[in-house]
Amino acid sequence: MGRRWGFLIGLLGAVCLLRSGHGGQQPPETAAQRCFCQVSGYLDDCTCDVETIDKFNNYRLFPRLQKLLESDYFRYYKVNLKRPCPFWNDISQCGRRDCAVRPCQSDEVPDGIKSASYKYSEEANNLIEECEQAERLGAVDESLSEETQKAVLQWTKHDDSSDNFCEADDIQSPDAEYVDLLLNPERYTGYKGPDAWKIWNVIYEENCFKPQTIKRPLNPLASSQGKSEENTFYSWLEGLCVEKRAFYRLISGLHASINVHLSARYLLQDTWLEKIWGHNITEFQQRFDGILTEGEGPRRLKNLYFLYLIELRALSKVVPFFERPDFQLFTGNKVQDEENKMLLLEILHEIKSFPLHFDENSFFAGDKKEANKLKEEFRLHFRNISRIMDCVGCFKCRLWGKLQTQGLGTALKILFSEKLIANMPESGPSYEFHLTRQEIVSLFNAFGRISTSVKELENFRNLLQNIH
């Protein structure tokens, strides 16, 4: 399979050369070539190529990661879907049944998860039983040891510090509920049109770094002004510093990944007997075909790979945090918890072995004062995007939007905390660097979504290859 896939990539690369004028007469394009012809070779700002990522993700990482995400610890995510939009009031709620989210009943969530959203060990969780009804941390403190109190206060202080790239939900809020991610999968819901366009438009136009000289909308959903402006549109990216260029590519990659999911889990048939979900090739082509998108689609897919590398790098950096002997993926099921930690470490060591990691040392590497200022701008822009997720009118889209932005924000937090991670104690509370359960669940599920997107691209390649 690997050789055949390599041959197909090579064949598509040869077709690209023919199209660019190096092979004489241009042959007719296949549907696969129009989407993937330019999605090969090395990625901008990276030393990694698409083919290496495909092989690593699809055959070494994806199966084990999916198994981990099906476990109790990672399938339950606490989220507040009732937070009001902080930017505008005219939110049109999606009335389609596929937009709805079914929260968990109290008895459906493992006790270990409910009683300890910030604890990882059985010993620590035993201390919390009498405080299960407490709404504030102050009430919890009375039953905790002095060491644990100090750890909790330090963690809370850190969670609210300027190192966070996301505005996370208050999971102590009565409106916050657990959701089973396996029972509420990300897929096409029918949420589209002006409301969906407005969300992405605000993200691109008001939160990406855009020079004042650029008049064309950054939002790829906006109406194009013609192919002649394609090179002009992207030339401004080349003129930006690597951090601002990366910011746009991360958002574009997240957007592309979501669109891949919606195309791969599309409602193909809806009758009173059954619903059939599957790959919608037409929908995929409308979003990524090189001709239908006037050259934009393949760029979106390359940005998806860029996002993959960023999150992959963050996971490789945070290995020491999970290797500590007192860390557990605590659910209350001791056998399952130990097995899941072993699987988690296997996955992380596999990720660490990846040969072509993104080099984040180029980020914020200039003058210290200017670098800190740029990092703060970067953080505030992304934090603002996390708040925009509360304006999404489709609750299922809001759920997955919040989870994936928090996951990416956690990845960025890790990348910019390298020294803090290196200084962590081998055991005991980590005061300087800490991840809450919410951050851990969102980090791995967000990367799971990107990993799934890369895997689905292989499926769409194969499906499109049969269309001529």
Question: Which residues line the annotated binding site for FAD?
Answer: 187, 189, 200, 252, 255, 287
Q: How many CB atoms lie within 10 A of CB 16?
A: 18
Backbone dihedral angles phi then psi of residue 177, each to the nearest 5 degrees: -135, 150
CB 48 within 8 Å of CB 444? no
CB 48 within 8 Å of CB 356? yes
Who's near 299: CB < 8 A, 6+ residues apart? 38, 234, 252
Using left for φ > 0, alpha for ψ between -120 and 50, and beta otherwise, residue 24 falls in left
Q: What angle do CA 213, 389, 85 make, to 5 degrees?
A: 95
Tokens found for residue 34 = 């129009």
Backbone dihedral angles phi then psi of residue 348, each to the nearest 5 degrees: -65, -40
Q: What is the CA radius of gyration of the chain?
A: 23
Relative to beta strand 76-79, strand 275-278 is: unpaired
Q: How far apart are CA 313 and CA 59, in angstroms?
A: 18
> Contacts from 367-373 at CB under 8 Å and sequence distance 24+?
none
CB 444 within 8 Å of CB 74? yes
Using a 10 angstrom Cβ sphere, with 0-12 exposed, 13-18 middle and 19 or more buried, the burial of residue 222 is: middle
CB 378 within 8 Å of CB 163? no
The residues annotated as belonging to the active site are: 394, 397
Q: Which residue is it, tokens 């009375």?
A: 142
